Amino acid sequence: MSSSTPPVTSPTTPRSDVVIVGAGIIGLAHAFEALSNGLSVTVLDRDRRPVGASVRNFGHCCISAQDGELLALAQRSRPGWLRAAEASGIWAAEAGTLVVARSATEAAVLEELHAERGGDAVRLRSAAQTAEALGRAAGEDGDLVGGAVLPADLRVDPREAAPGLARWVAEQPRGRILWGTAVTGVESGTVHTTRGPVHGDRILVCVGHDLDHLLPDVAEDHGIQRCRLTMARAAAPEGFRTDSAVLTATSMLRYDAFTARPSAARLREEVLGHSAELLEIGANVMFTRQPDGTLLIGDSHHYDATTPPFVDERTYELLIDAVARVLGVPRLRILERWQGVYASSPRGPLLVRDLAPGVRAISVTSGIGMTLSFGLAAATFDGTLAATA
């Protein structure tokens, strides 16, 4: 920082009703909800714009694939996303999810979910309908059996959603974002930053996986690890047009709505038989279409206390080949590659921890923060979000 840069906080910096640490989707959804409730908000982020997990993902609000309490929270998130999109002008499409079935077992899991949730929530598709949605010939490789559309799911553009919401927050008379302001500690009423103290009645720490840096004891107590995911952006094959997120068998092995079905155990054995390498890299072979027509494809999951910077090219080969097979094309033209990180914990999908009176840390520890963000924010401000053990 140049010596002429003015401090962004000073003794005259106004106190806010709510101070939020972290301008990722969790912090910004809370800022949106607080401002919607007429509260004044200051958001602090150490970076100059959102570059964390919230811009590196698929932009998939994967509501229907959740089960139990997380399903309820995800369902609560949906109207929040739509309201925020309307207010801020970001793209949010009620595009749903297409789950592709490429074997009788995969189709059985989808049929079981259909029987459980009903035809409005899970619409079964024939092989021809699935092929049409993918823009490929029906059963070209003899490998499309059917599919299902989950219409409640939403799609957003991850590169635009958090930055667009941040812009909206900063434009509100009661909203403020201080970029380039790293938080070093929190206590009741005060957030300590690299630019001086910031005061607020209520403090929400929403730093995602960086909780292990800011509050290492809290992160360790919740068993938080960093989950590293590899992603790529590819040119879409000609004919591919759907805005639905596309999930496959490996996705079904990762989301509770599918793993709770009777045929899920058989599906795991089947995938292990034909795609053991995909399971070894923790693959969730899926893809989403960006508003510019390109595809976000991924992903793998590797868990560690910290994130090695190196990505084994074999991981990319496996994922890219798997997506190409679903799309019925020999290869994909890759435009970009990157890694993303999210907080993960074997103790549970959420960390909600009261640190001091009026100070709370909220991290999603299960890789579904885009899905839950606005549901969590609504529950925070109506007082129904309980602290986790």
Ligand X SMILES: Cc1cc2nc3c(=O)[nH]c(=O)nc-3n(C[C@H](O)[C@H](O)[C@H](O)COP(=O)(O)OP(=O)(O)OC[C@H]3O[C@@H](n4cnc5c(N)ncnc54)[C@H](O)[C@@H]3O)c2cc1C
Cα–Cα distance, 91 to 96 (Å, whole number) = 14
Amino acid at 89: G
Tokens of 307: 């994130």
Say if CB 277 and CB 290 are below 8 A apart. Answer: no
Least separation in angstroms between CB 20 and ligand X? 10
Structure tokens at 172: 């509100």
Report, in Å, the least distance between residue 336 CB and ligand X: 13
User: Please, what is the minimum distance in Å from the beta carbon of residue 186 to ligand X?
Assistant: 10
Q: Which CB atom, from 3 or from 48, has the smaller least distance to ligand X? A: 48
In the complex with ligand X, the residue whose CB is nearer, 263 or 315, is 315
How many Å apart are CA 252 and CA 258, to the nearest integer? Answer: 5
Q: Which is nearer to ligand X, 174 or 179 (CB)?
A: 179
> Strand 41-44 vs strand 175-178: parallel, antiparallel, or unpaired?
parallel
| Cβ closest to ligand X, residue 332 vs residue 370 | 370
Nearer to ligand X, 144 or 211 (CB): 211
As measured in angstroms, the least distance from the Cβ of 224 to ligand X is 12
- Quick one: DSSP state of residue 385? -
Query: Comparing C-alpha atoms, which of 343, 142, 100, 39 is closest to residue 242?
Result: 100
Q: For residue 259, give the 3-state DSSP assignment.
A: helix
Q: Which two tokens stand for residue 23?
A: 């301008």
Select 26 or 283, whichever has its Cβ closest to ligand X: 26
CA distance 279 to 5: 50
Residue pair 335/328 in contact by the 8 Å Cβ criterion? no
- If the CB atoms of residues 4 and 306 are measured against ligand X, the closer one turns out to be 306
Cβ(25)–Cβ(2) under 8 Å?
Answer: no
Residues that bind ligand X (CB under 6 A): 21-27, 44-47, 50, 52-54, 56-58, 60, 62, 182-183, 206-208, 210, 214, 229, 231, 298-299, 340-342, 363-364, 367-371
The helix or strand, by DSSP H or E, that contains position 60, with its residue range, turns out to be strand 60-61
